[in-house]
Amino acid sequence: MKQAIKIGLIGGVVEILLALIGMIEAFSQRYIIIDIISMGHTLIFLVALLMTSLSAKRTPHGNPLRAMINALTSGLIIGGFLAVLVVMGSLVNLRKVFINASPLLYQWLTFNQGIKAGIPLLLTGGALCGFLAGLLFLSSKLFRRVLIISLGSVVGAGVLQDLLRPTFALWGPLSVMNEWLFSANGLTLYGAIGLFVLIAALSYVWAKKGNVIRANLNGLSPSNQRVLRITTFLTLIMILLVLPQILGLFLSEVLTIVGLYVLLGLGLNIVVGFAGLLDLGYVAFFAIGAYSIAVLTSPELGFFNLSFWGALPFAIFIGVLSGFLLGIPVLKMRGDYLAIATLGFGEIIRILVLSDVLRPWLGGAQGIGKIPKAHIAGIEMATPQQIYYLILAGCLLVGFISWRLRDSRLGRAWMAVREDEDVAQAMGINLISTKLLAFATGAAFSALSGAIFASKLGSVYPHSFNVMISINIICLVIVGGMGSIPGVLVGAFALVGLPELLREFAEYRLLVYGAALVAMMLLRPEGLWPEPLQRRELHEGESSDAKPNH
Amino acid sequence: MLKRWRERITPTDVVMWFIGGTLLLLMFWGSTATLIEGRYTSHHWFDFLIFGLAQGSIYALIAMGYTMVYGTLRMINFAHSEVFMSGPYTAYFVAAAFYSSGFLDRQPILSLIFIFLVSMATSTLIAVLLERIAYRPLRTAPRLVPLITAIGASFFLQYTFRGLYGSGFQAYPVVKILEGEWMFGVFRILKFQAVVIVAAALLMTALYLFVQRTRMGKAIRAVSEDKEISSLMGIDIDRMIVTTFVIGGMAAGAAGVLYAVMFKQVHFFMGFIPGIKAFTAAVLGGIGNIPGAMLGGIFLGLVESIGPSLFLDGLGIVAPYQLKDAIAFIMLVLVLIFRPTGILGERLAIKKA
C-alpha cells in the first residue's frame, strides 16, 4: 500500500510536470482518433497506465486482489493530482510563473467539461486507468501482449499520420486506404477499430505460430539459409534504392538527414562504442569536413574552385589529419577528463570559426555560401531524392568499413582498450597508435558526412556546428547500443527521423532526448539493439532471461 | 639519469611540449607587445581586474559543487550547470513580484536575502533530486554510464525549465542600492561588482570552515578519501553524498543570484557556459580539492578578463574579446594535458580518473 501511494505520488508529479511544461497542450492539437482522443490525452493516460501497472506489478506475493487495490489507489492519486492542478489554476493565476498554464490547458485536462464536472471525471479517469492496469496485470500473458501491440500500433498510426498519409497517396490503388483510415487530423473511428482488429489478429497469429515458422527457418540446410540471407540482403538493397521514389520529397529529405546522422553515428561508434573514448567534441570533425569542402569549392572565396569530387579526398584527408592532431593531446586522458577536453576542443573550433580573426578565410559569422553541388555522371545532385543516393552510398561504404573493422585485429585492439587500457597495454597493444587510429577513423567518417552536408545545403555557418550536434550523435549511439552497427541505424531513426516527422513538437525534442538518455542508462544501459557482448557485461550476475532478446 | 629521461620521453611528449612552448611564447610576445604599445591605462587594467575577480568568484562558487561531488562520487556532475540555472531563474519570479509591489525599493536588503534563499532552496532541491533519481542507482555502474546520465539529466532539466518558464531572456529587476560606484583614490569600483566579490568571499569562507572544522565536514572528507573505510567507521555514506549535493546546490544557487545581479538577466541556457568554466576552474585548482576550486575560479576569471587584451591585442588580433571563451577552453585543455592534478591537486587523475 505504501508502495502504491509512493508510485501514485511520483505519477502525479510527472503528470503535473507534463502539463506545466506545455507538452499536453501542444500534443492535444493532434488527434489520434478524430474528435475522440488527442495525443495529449493519450500521453496522460499512458503515464497513468504505466504508473498504475508498475504499482500492480510491485505488489508483494502477487496477490491479485491487493494488486488491483494498489493499482486503483495509485490511479486515484494521479487523478487527484491533476484535479488539484485544475482547482489551483482556477483559483490562482499560475500563468505569471508557468507560461504554459493557460486556460486552454485546463480545458484539455477537464475534457472540455468545466471544473465541476471535470474533477470527478479526472478522478474516475485515474481510477479507470488503475482498474485497466489491474486487469491487464491479471490477464494472461498472450492477451496482454496482443492488446499492447495493437493499441500501440493504433497510437503509432495516429502519431505518424503525416508520414503515412502522403506515402499511401503516392501508391495509386492504396490511396483508397487514406479515405478509410485517416481524416483531416487523426484516424477515423472505423479506421482505428479496423486497424486495431487487424493488428490484433496478426499479432495473435504470430504469437501462436511464430515459433513454428522460426523453427522451420532454423531447420533449413546451411546452403538454403545462405540463399535466404542473400535474398533478404538483396531485397533490402532494392528497397533502399527505390525508397525515395516511393516516399516523395519531404520524406526523402528526412531520410537524407537521418543518413547524415547515420554517417556521423557510425564514426562516433568507432570512437565511443569500439574504443570507449567518450568524445564530446565530435562535431568539430563534422565542421572541419564541411568547411574544407566550402573553402576548396566555393567561388565566393575563390581560393581553389575545385569540384565536389575533387575536394572530397582533401576534405577527408584534412579530417583524418585533424583527428590525429586533436587525438595526440588527449592520449593520456581517460573517461571524464577526455570528455571535457574534447568538449573544449569542439568549442574552440567553433569559436575560432565564428571569430573575426579568421573571417577572410572562413567567412566568420556569415559563413560561406555558393558551394557547388556534387555531380554524378553529369547529373547534378540537387534534390533530396538525388542526394539520398549520395548519402546511401556513403552509408553503405562506411557501414561496410565499420563492419569489417569490428572483427579485424584493429577492432579487437579497440575493444581491448575499451575494456581495460592497462591490461591491453600489457598484452602488447600499442595504445598510442590504436587510440589515434580510432580518432582518425571516426574523424574521417565525420568529415565525409560534413562534406555531403555542405554540398547538400550549399552553404556552411558556424552555428550549424554547436555542441548540440555532438550530444545528438552521442545520444543516438548510446540509445542504439554502444558498439553496435545496426544500433546506430535504430538510434538515428528513433532520435533524428522521428523528431523530423514531428516537427511541430520540436520544442520538446531535447527534453525527450535527455529523459531518454537517463531512462536508458537506468533501465537498459546496453541500448535498443546491443552487441551481445556489451549486454552480457552490463547484466552480469542477473538471470539470463531478464531481458528479452531482439 | 639522462638516459632514464631519454627513455621515458615519447614522440607525443615532444609534440606536446612543442605546442605548449609555442603557446607560451605567443603569450609572452603578445603581452610584451601590448605593454610596450601602452594601449591600456592602469584604469583599464584595474577595471579588468575587478571584473575578473567578480566573475571569478562566481566561477569559484559553482566550482565548489563540481569539486565536492567529484571528491565523493568520482564523477563529473555534468548537470550542475542546470542546478546553477534553476535557482536564479526561479528566484526571478520572486524578484519580479517584489519589484512590481515596490517592496524591492523599500526593503532592498531584506528582499535580496529572500531572493537568495529562494534561489538556494531551488538549486538545492534540484541537486538532491538529481542525486536521488539519476545518480544513486548507478553508483556501481561502469564509469561512462553516470557521465552519460548526467549529460541526459542536464538537457532534461534545461528544457524542462524552458517549458516551465518560457524560452525568452528575463531581465532581472535593478536593485537601486547596488547601482553606482565607489571611488578609491583614482580607481573606481562598480558597487555591484564589489558586492558580488564580498558575498562570494563570505560564502566561500563559510563553506570552507564547514568542511574543515565541523564534524560533518570531517565525515565528508573521510568519504571522499575512502568510501568503504569511512562506512566501517560508522559514517552514513548516502547521507554524506547527499550533503555534498546540498552544499554544492546551495553554493550554485547563491552564485546564480550573484550572476543575475552582475549580468541582469536569466535564461534557460544560462548555465551551460558558466558550468563548463566552473568545471575548468575546478580542474585548474585540482579536482576534489576545495580551496583549489576557489583559487582556480578566481584565476580563471582573471585570465578571462585580462587575457584577451593582454595576450591577444599585442599580436594584432582583431576583436580579441570574441576569443575570451576560447582562452578559457585552451586553458582547460592545457591544464588537462600538462598538469591534470591541477594547481593544488593530489595525484588523483592518473590513479582514479
Task: Answer whether B134 touches A (CB < 8 Å).
Answer: yes
**How would residue A318 be classed by pLDDT, with cut points 50, 70 and 90?**
very high
Q: Are residues B128 and B188 in the same domain?
A: yes
> Poorest-confidence range of A73-82, A179-188, A229-238?
A179-188
Q: What is the pLDDT of residues B181-212, one digit of tens each?
A: 777 777 778 888 888 888 889 988 898 888 88
- List A residues 331-390 in contact with B (Cβ-Cβ < 8 A): 331-337, 339-341, 343-345, 347-348, 351-352, 354-357
Q: Tell me what the mean pLDDT of segment A277-303 comes to.
A: 85
Name residues whose C-beta falls within 8 Å of residue A328's C-beta, 6 or more positions apart in sequence: A436, B12, B15, B16
Q: Are residues B261 and B293 in the same domain?
A: no
Q: Supply the mean pLDDT for chain A.
A: 82
Q: What is the pLDDT of residues A191-215, one digit of tens each?
A: 888 888 888 888 888 887 777 877 7
Q: Are residues B212 and B313 in the same domain?
A: no
Q: Are residues A12 and A161 in the same domain?
A: no
Classify residue B26: in a domain, yes or no.
no
Q: Are residues A284 and A429 in the same domain?
A: yes
pLDDT for A242? 79
Q: Tell me what the mean pLDDT of segment A310-321 comes to.
A: 90
Q: Are residues A119 and A152 in the same domain?
A: no
Classify residue A439: in a domain, yes or no.
yes
Residue B346 has pLDDT above 70, yes or no: no
Q: Are residues B238 and B295 in the same domain?
A: no
Q: Who has greater pLDDT, A8 or A526?
A: A8
Residue A298 has pLDDT above 90, yes or no: no
Q: What is the CA radius of gyration of chain A?
A: 26
Whole-Å CA distances, A49 to A72, A85, A130: 11, 19, 7
Residue type, A4: A
- List B residues 314-333 in contact with A (Cβ-Cβ < 8 A): 317-319, 322-323, 325-326, 329-330, 332-333
Which residue's entry shows cell 550554485?
Answer: B252
Count up the domains in chain A and report the number. 3
Q: Are residues B97 and B201 in the same domain?
A: yes
All three cell numbers of A292, joined, read 574544407
> Poorest-confidence range of A387-401, B94-108, B231-245?
B94-108
pLDDT for A550? 40
Q: Are residues B287 and B306 in the same domain?
A: yes
- List A residues 523-542 in contact with B (Cβ-Cβ < 8 A): 525, 538
Q: Are residues B88 and B162 in the same domain?
A: yes
Q: Who has greater pLDDT, A227 or A184?
A: A227
Q: Are residues B107 and B245 in the same domain?
A: yes
Q: Which residues of chain B neighbour A518 with C-beta distances below 8 Å?
A: 133-134, 149, 152-153, 156
Classify residue B290: in a domain, yes or no.
yes
Cα dihedral sign, A29-A30-A34-A39: negative
Residue A235 has pLDDT above 80, yes or no: yes
pLDDT for B1? 62
Pick from B141, B160, B353: which is nearest to A335 by CB?
A: B353
> Poorest-confidence range of A228-242, A315-329, B27-41, B334-348?
B334-348
Q: Which residues of chain A neighbour B125 with C-beta distances below 8 Å?
A: none
Q: Are residues A327 and A186 in the same domain?
A: no
* Whole-angstrom distance, CA of residue A401 vs CA of residue A274: 13
DSSP summary character for residue A272:
I
Q: Are residues B119 and B191 in the same domain?
A: yes
Classify residue B222: in a domain, yes or no.
yes
Pick from A22, A343, A478: which is nearest to B163 by CB?
A: A22
Among A115, A138, A161, where does a domain finish? A138
Residue B347 has pLDDT above 60, yes or no: no
Nearest Cα residue in chain B from A334: B353
Whole-Å CA distances, A535 to A52, A189, A402, A481, A541: 29, 42, 20, 9, 12
Residue A167 has pLDDT above 70, yes or no: yes
Query: How many CA atoms within 13 Å lie on the side-chain side of A289?
Result: 32
Buried b / exposed e across B133-146, counting CB within 10 Å, b at 16+? ebbeebeebeebbb
Classify residue B13: in a domain, yes or no.
no
Classify residue A250: in a domain, yes or no.
no
Q: What is the pLDDT of residues B254-311, one digit of tens each?
A: 999 989 888 888 888 888 888 888 888 888 888 778 888 888 899 899 888 888 777 7
Q: What is the pLDDT of residues A412-450, one digit of tens each?
A: 999 898 888 888 888 888 888 899 999 999 999 999 999
> Poorest-confidence range of A111-115, A169-173, B78-82, B271-275?
A169-173
pLDDT for A154? 84
> Poorest-confidence range of A57-61, A88-92, A173-177?
A173-177
Q: Are residues A62 and A166 in the same domain?
A: no
Classify residue A483: in a domain, yes or no.
no
Q: Are residues A170 and A28 in the same domain?
A: no
Which residue's entry shows cell 538545492?
Answer: B124
Q: Tell me what the mean pLDDT of segment A462-470 comes to.
A: 83
Q: Who has greater pLDDT, A106 or A334?
A: A106
Q: Is A516 in Cβ contact with B163 (below 8 Å)?
A: no
Classify residue B326: in a domain, yes or no.
yes
Q: What is the pLDDT of residues A15-62, one digit of tens each?
A: 888 888 877 778 777 787 777 788 888 888 888 888 888 888 877 776
pLDDT for A548? 41
Q: Are residues A446 and A354 in the same domain?
A: yes
Pick from A20, A23, A348: which is nearest to B329 by CB?
A: A348
Check if the beta carbon of residue B26 is closer than 8 Å to that of residue B315.
yes
Question: pTM of the predicted model, to two decimals?
Answer: 0.84
Q: Tell me what the mean pLDDT of segment A124-141 comes to.
A: 83
How close, in Å, is residue A457 to chain B by CA atoms? 27
DSSP string, A395-451: HHHHHHHHHHHHTSHHHHHHHHHHH-HHHHHHTT--HHHHHHHHHHHHHHHHHHHHH
How close, in Å, is residue A335 to chain B by CA atoms? 7
Q: Are residues A310 and A417 in the same domain?
A: yes
Give the per-residue SS3 of A504-533.
HHHHHHHHHHHHHHHHHHHHCCCCCCCCHH
pLDDT for A437? 92
Q: Tell me what the mean pLDDT of segment A325-344 comes to.
A: 80
Q: Is A336 in Cβ contact with B143 (below 8 Å)?
A: yes
Check if the beta carbon of residue A299 is closer than 8 Å to that of residue B306.
no
Among A465, A492, A518, where does a domain finish? A465
How close, in Å, is residue B51 to chain A by CA atoms? 22
Q: Tell me what the mean pLDDT of segment A60-82 comes to.
A: 82
Classify residue B169: in a domain, yes or no.
yes
* Whole-angstrom distance, CA of residue A315 vs CA of residue A233: 32
Q: Is B353 in Cβ contact with A17 (below 8 Å)?
A: no
Classify residue B53: in a domain, yes or no.
no
Terminal alpha carbon distance of chain A: 35
**How would residue A535 be classed by pLDDT, with cut points 50, 70 and 90?**
low
How close, in Å, is residue A97 to chain B by CA atoms? 6
* Whole-angstrom distance, CA of residue A288 vs CA of residue A403: 25
Q: Is B147 in Cβ contact with A351 (below 8 Å)?
A: no
pLDDT for A549? 40
All three cell numbers of A260, joined, read 547524415
Classify residue B37: in a domain, yes or no.
no
pLDDT for A443? 92
Q: Are residues B203 and B349 in the same domain?
A: no
pLDDT for B234? 87
Residue type, A13: V
Among B270, B291, B318, where does a domain finish? B270
Pick from B16, B76, B164: which is nearest to A340 by CB?
A: B76
Host domain of residue A215: 142-229
Share of chain A above pLDDT 90, in %: 9
Interstrand relation of A31-33 and B170-171 (parallel, antiparallel or unpaired): unpaired
Residue B271: strand, helix, or coil:
coil
Nearest Cα residue in chain A from B138: A522
Among B248, B270, B292, where does a domain finish? B270
Q: Is A510 in Cβ contact with B158 (below 8 Å)?
A: yes
Query: How many CA atoms within 13 Å lie on the side-chain side of A95?
Result: 10
Name residues whose C-beta falls within 8 Å of residue B224's C-beta, 6 or more positions apart in sequence: B68, B71, B72, B288
**How would residue A534 be classed by pLDDT, with cut points 50, 70 and 90?**
low
Q: Are residues A458 and A326 in the same domain?
A: yes
Host domain of residue B153: 60-270
Q: Which residues of chain B neighbour A515 with C-beta distances below 8 Å?
A: 152, 156
Among B228, B244, B270, where does a domain finish? B270
Query: How many CA atoms within 13 Å lie on the side-chain side of B275?
Result: 25
Q: Are residues A150 and A110 in the same domain?
A: no
* Whole-angstrom distance, CA of residue A185 vs CA of residue A161: 8
Residue B121 has pLDDT above 90, yes or no: yes
Q: Are residues A20 and A131 in the same domain?
A: yes
Residue A263 has pLDDT above 60, yes or no: yes
DSSP string, B301-323: HHHHHHHIIIIIGGGT-SSGGGG
Q: Which residues of chain A neighbour B157 with C-beta distances below 8 Å?
A: 514
Q: Tell me what the mean pLDDT of segment A453-460 comes to.
A: 86
> Poorest-confidence range of A17-31, B144-158, B219-233?
A17-31
Q: Is B336 in Cβ contact with A333 (below 8 Å)?
A: yes
Classify residue A254: in a domain, yes or no.
no
Which residue's entry shows cell 590525429?
Answer: A324
Nearest Cα residue in chain A from B164: A21
Q: Are residues B179 and B327 in the same domain?
A: no
Q: How many residues does chain B have?
A: 353
Q: Are residues B109 and B224 in the same domain?
A: yes
Residue A411 has pLDDT above 80, yes or no: yes
Among A138, A160, A189, where does a domain finish? A138
Q: Who has greater pLDDT, A489 or B309?
A: A489
Q: Are residues A284 and A432 in the same domain?
A: yes
Q: Tell me what the mean pLDDT of segment A333-350 comes to.
A: 80
- Identify the bridge partners of residue B170 per DSSP, sorted by sequence position: B266
Count up the domains in chain B and report the number. 2
Nearest Cα residue in chain B from A339: B147
Q: What interface predicted TM-score (ipTM) does this complex get? A: 0.82
Residue B351 has pLDDT above 70, yes or no: no
* Whole-angstrom distance, CA of residue A354 vs CA of residue B137: 41
